Amino acid sequence: MDHLELIRQLKTSAATKIILLVMDGLGGLPLTPDGRTELEAAKKPHLDALARVSDLGLSTPIFPGITPGSGPGHMGLFGYDPLDWQIGRGVLEALGIGFDLTRMDVAARGNFCSVDPATGAITDRRAGRISTETCAKLVNMLRGITLSGVEVFVEPVEDYRFVLVLRGEHLEDGLTETDPQKVGVPPLPVEPTRPEAEKTAALFNEWLSQARRILADQRPANGANLRGLAKVPDLPHFPELYGLRSGAIATYPMYRGVARLAGMDVLATGHDIASEVETLRRHWNEYDFFFFHVKKTDSAGEDGNFEAKVHVIEELDGYLPEILALKPDVLLVTGDHSTPAKWKNHSWHALPVLLFSPYVRPVPQATYGERACAAGSLGQVRHVDLMPLAMAHAGRLVKFGA
Amino acid sequence: MDHLELIRQLKTSAATKIILLVMDGLGGLPLTPDGRTELEAAKKPHLDALARVSDLGLSTPIFPGITPGSGPGHMGLFGYDPLDWQIGRGVLEALGIGFDLTRMDVAARGNFCSVDPATGAITDRRAGRISTETCAKLVNMLRGITLSGVEVFVEPVEDYRFVLVLRGEHLEDGLTETDPQKVGVPPLPVEPTRPEAEKTAALFNEWLSQARRILADQRPANGANLRGLAKVPDLPHFPELYGLRSGAIATYPMYRGVARLAGMDVLATGHDIASEVETLRRHWNEYDFFFFHVKKTDSAGEDGNFEAKVHVIEELDGYLPEILALKPDVLLVTGDHSTPAKWKNHSWHALPVLLFSPYVRPVPQATYGERACAAGSLGQVRHVDLMPLAMAHAGRLVKFGA
């Protein structure tokens, strides 16, 4: 039986509240073999005190050695197998700028490029990395394109990147990219990889053809490519699946977008942890489940800034008493993936997990860190195991079988 | 998505080198509850120093409780699910004597037996355990047998055992064994278990019929049975799958054979660890990946000789500085399966794993032993996880999804 089907069968209601606190890219590495990780090095008295009354464990996002993007990392945390529920690049790009995608949409990431006017061959795949301002100006010109029977949205992103969304009945994905990934050849047409997508491919090609006419006299951006053409995945509806009124608190559009795809209510919040905590407090009575996302641990890790990552963890720690004062029945603290400052990128390393509830087997003198978690009483799990564990600790799953 | 398909999609190139150091049958047991395992008891200062700057973990070859043969143990280490990629007994027997099998071959393990000349019923399934010398003489007689359209190879193994290989276009496996597993009844015919194997079954039966005529006047070995008739599995090509130029260093034919099946280059080496290290050094610049196999830990375990197994580990430890001097980016030290001296056989126990790379979370005061590994920062994994982990640590896998 499918993992999600089991959850559907066993879920029950209870007057309990769960917080899933995700510090993006939380997992780290020591800079030297005898050193401490970012989480271990952080002065975080409240998290460490919580660790002494919680289960600790390690969670692998997908399987050992596999580094997840933000999409797959969150799919796993929400209990959806990341290999079964893939989010296309066009969809993530649209979510990243806060575009409110619907299930009727096909989204593509667009790249302005330079082409040889005589032959049509690409001469620069990024159009000399034009400014975001130029990008916005070009996008405005492209907004004049209309297609029969569908709505068309074009939005600037950054530099040479934009988002194109077609919205209409019966649009299908299963579409190839136009970027040949090299210069000296013209862009490829969008081709359907299955017969149902033929009409959609024709619409994208018609858009490209009009776009090239409009851009013909521009320099250097006189062409455009489309990549990662995709529909939103038909995700199981998180609140129905788990029977949880679910609210999402995140400062970055992409994470709000992923939560919205899963069917959570996205709650308005400011740009820092203080605002997020205030949002949590304000909506506390309305929801059973909160996805609470802290972005800057990941950004600091990507920058290779060990100290900055330590500081974000310490900042979050300062707000922990306010969060605990709300008396959540279950508080899960983890990350979507590791972003060690030493690696300067997402990595494959397993995530430290802290699971606070009354029904745990705490280890005295534990602290919240990767190595304490590796020896913790929760053992090793996968991201898709975390929601079932949270549900169980919240008294929201009945037993399987008699 | 299939695990191997994911690796194919994510693999990338890097100027990094990986050594997979396999001490055959490495996992052990304490002789008494308060004692140490072979690995824990060994004086191995270099491995213990390496453990303090590495990840430690436990790896299960197939799943808990399942004892692997050498074939499945190595399939797992190479990243092939041992339940999906099975190697027939005939194939392993041929590899064990260094026979260079091709994908056109069907190999069988042969047993000389004694039969009642009047009734044809088997009277001794092992022909009184004839000497290897007699076996070689009989095999020589059987080399006279020819079959239409295929090449025939017969090779002695030991005592009453030999190997028969048919080579030709369109030979198929899916063939039953002739040994009825009891005396008092005649050998069974080879029968096809699927229609495509009919012609191949007829060829084996024709060979057996000729063999019986030739052996009729011999005593006690006047008959023969065939077991484990199999083709080589159509294994994914290891160097292509991982994008690694791959060399295998092993002193025993079977391990060289399994590496060759996976598509690795088998490097000429002498019969001891010193020669193997010299081979590693000589070929260091030619390959990205080395499978380095040490046999005698397993032989000592099978003999129930705790001290001898300890000694092999100590011997290997003496060579570790030379191996590390080559500066591998990733060094994995583990075994294909456990062979505790106390059990005197392959066992199901999980394997200690040491994973050395710059991107680890070492535990201070660690030593390389089963119980330190059980509490190690790598946690518990399966054999099939080890190659993805090694690839990740070598910077040879890009992230999954955006």
Whether chain A has a CB inside 8 Å of the CB on B391: the answer is yes
pLDDT score for B364: 87
A380·B379 Cβ contact <8 A: yes
pLDDT of chain A along its 402 residues, tens only? 788 999 999 999 999 999 999 999 999 999 999 999 999 999 999 999 999 999 999 999 999 999 999 999 999 999 999 999 999 999 999 998 999 999 999 999 999 999 999 999 999 999 999 999 999 999 999 999 999 999 999 999 999 999 999 999 999 999 999 999 899 999 999 999 999 999 999 999 999 999 999 999 999 999 999 999 999 999 999 999 999 999 999 999 999 999 999 999 999 999 999 999 999 999 999 999 999 999 999 999 999 999 999 999 999 999 999 999 999 999 999 999 999 999 999 999 999 999 999 999 999 899 999 999 999 999 999 999 999 999 999 999 999 998
Of A71, A349, A379, the CB nearest to B401: A71
- Tell me the chain A residues in contact with residue B3 when contact means C-beta distances shorter than 8 Å: 63
Cα–Cα distance measured from residue A91 to residue A244, given in angstroms and rounded to the nearest whole number: 25
Count, residues in chain B: 402
Tokens of B174: 């899916």
A149-181 as b/e, with b when 16 or more CB fall inside 10 Å? Answer: ebebebbbbebbbbbbbbbbeebbbbbbbbbee
Gap from A362 CA to chain B (nearest CA, Å) = 16
CB pairs under 8 A between A and B: 97
Q: Does B360 touch chain A (CB under 8 A)?
A: yes
Please answer yes or no on whether A30 and B400 come within 8 Å at the CB atom: no
State how far the alpha carbon of B191 is from the alpha carbons of B94, B125, B201, B232, B335, in Å: 21, 20, 6, 19, 38
**Terminal C-alpha separation, chain A:** 17
Distance from the Cα of B401 to chain A's closest Cα (Å) equals 5
One-character DSSP codes across B95-116? HHTT----TTEEEEEEEEEEE-
- Residues in Cβ contact with A305 at an 8 Å cutoff, skipping those fewer than 6 apart: A341
Question: Does residue B397 sit at the A interface (CB-CB below 8 Å)?
Answer: yes
Q: Looking up tokens 């140490």, which residue turns up?
A: B36
Contact A33 B10 (CB under 8 A): no
B149 touches chain A (CB under 8 A): no
pLDDT per residue as tens, chain B (402 positions): 788 999 999 999 999 999 999 999 999 999 999 999 999 999 999 999 999 999 999 999 999 999 999 999 999 999 999 999 999 999 999 998 999 999 999 999 999 999 999 999 999 999 999 999 999 999 999 999 999 999 999 999 999 999 999 999 999 999 999 999 999 999 999 999 999 999 999 999 999 999 999 999 999 999 999 999 999 999 999 999 999 999 999 999 999 999 999 999 999 999 999 999 999 999 999 999 999 999 999 999 999 999 999 999 999 999 999 999 999 999 999 999 999 999 999 999 999 999 999 999 999 889 999 999 999 999 999 999 999 999 999 999 999 998
Helix/strand/coil for B164? strand
Q: Which residues 64-123 of chain A have a CB within 8 Å of chain B?
A: 64-72, 82-83, 86-87, 89, 92-93
Among residues B42, B50, B38, which one has the least CA distance to residue B354? B50
Nearest residue of B to residue A81 by CA position?
Answer: B1
* Cis-peptide into B180, omega within 30 deg: no
CB contact under 8 A, A371 and B359: no
Structure tokens at A336: 């979507």
A349 contacts on B by Cβ (under 8 Å): 359, 361
Angstroms from A44 CA to nearest CA on chain B:
20
Closest-CA distance, B278 to chain A, in angstroms, reads 29
Q: Considering only alpha carbons, which residue of chain A is nearest residue B361? A: A29
* Contact partners, residue A360, CB within 8 Å, separation at least 6: A53, A54, A55, A377, A393
| Burial bucket for residue A9 (CB in 10 Å: 0-12, 13-18, 19+) | exposed
Query: In this complex, do B402 and A64 lie within 8 Å of one another by their Cβ atoms?
Result: no
- pLDDT at residue B329, as a whole number: 98
Beta carbons of A367 and A54 less than 8 angstroms apart: no
User: For residue A197, what pLDDT is reported?
Assistant: 97
- Is 0.95 surpassed by the pTM of this model? no
Residues of A in contact with B4 (CB under 8 A): none
What separation in angstroms does the CA of B316 have from each of A11, A53, A116, B39, B298? 54, 44, 62, 12, 13
Which B-chain residues 279-308 have CB contacts (< 8 A) with chain A?
Answer: none
Residue type for position A222:
N
| A341 at B interface, C-beta within 8 A | no
Cβ-Cβ contacts under 8 Å, A342 against chain B: 358-359
Residue in chain A nearest B397 by alpha carbon: A66
> CB A340 to CB B362 under 8 A?
no
Q: Whose structure tokens read 């997508």?
A: A197
In three state form, how does the secondary structure of chain A look? CCHHHHHHHHECCCCCCEEEEEECCEECCCCCCCCCCHHHHCCCHHHHHHHCCCEEEEEECCCCCCCECHHHHHHHHCCCCCCCCCCCHHHHHHHHCCCCCCCCEEEEEEEEEEECCCCCCEEECCHHHCCHHHHHHHHHHHCCCCECCEEEEEEECCCCEEEEEEECCCCCCCECCCCCCCCCCCCCCCCECCHHHHHHHHHHHHHHHHHHHHHCCCCCCCEEEEEEEECCCCCCCHHHHHCCCEEEECCCHHHHHHHHHCCCEECCCCCCHHHHHHHHHHHHHHCCEEEEEECHHHHHHHCCCHHHHHHHHHHHHHHHHHHHHCCCCEEEEECCCECCCCCCCCECCCEEEEEECCCCCCCCCCCCCHHHHHCCCCEEEEHHHHHHHHHHHCCCECCCCC
CA distances in angstroms from A280 to A21, A290, A316, listed in the order given: 11, 8, 14
Q: Which residue has the tokens 């990008």?
A: A135
A344 touches chain B (CB under 8 A): no
For residue A58, give the nearest of B53, B379, B385 by CB distance.
B379
pLDDT for the residue numbered A45: 98
Q: Is B20's Cβ below 8 Å from some Cβ in A?
A: no
Which candidate, A56, A58, A53, A57, places its Cα nearest to that of A364? A53
Beta carbons within 10 angstroms of residue B15's beta carbon: 8
Q: Which two tokens stand for residue A137?
A: 């100006």
B208 in Cβ contact with B154 (< 8 Å): no
Please answer yes or no on whether A66 and B360 come within 8 Å at the CB atom. no
Nearest CA in chain B to A90: B402
Spatial separation of the C-alpha atoms in residues A264 and A247, rounded to whole Å: 5
pLDDT given for residue A402 in this prediction? 86
Q: Which residues of A touch B363 (CB under 8 A)?
A: 371, 374
The SS3 call for residue B379 is strand
Cβ-based contacts of A63 with chain B (< 8 Å): 3, 385, 388
Tally of CB atoms within 10 A around A75: 30
Write the Ramachandran bin of A162: left for phi over 0, alpha for psi from -120 to 50, otherwise beta. Answer: beta
Asked if B363 has any chain A CB less than 8 Å from its own CB, the reply is yes
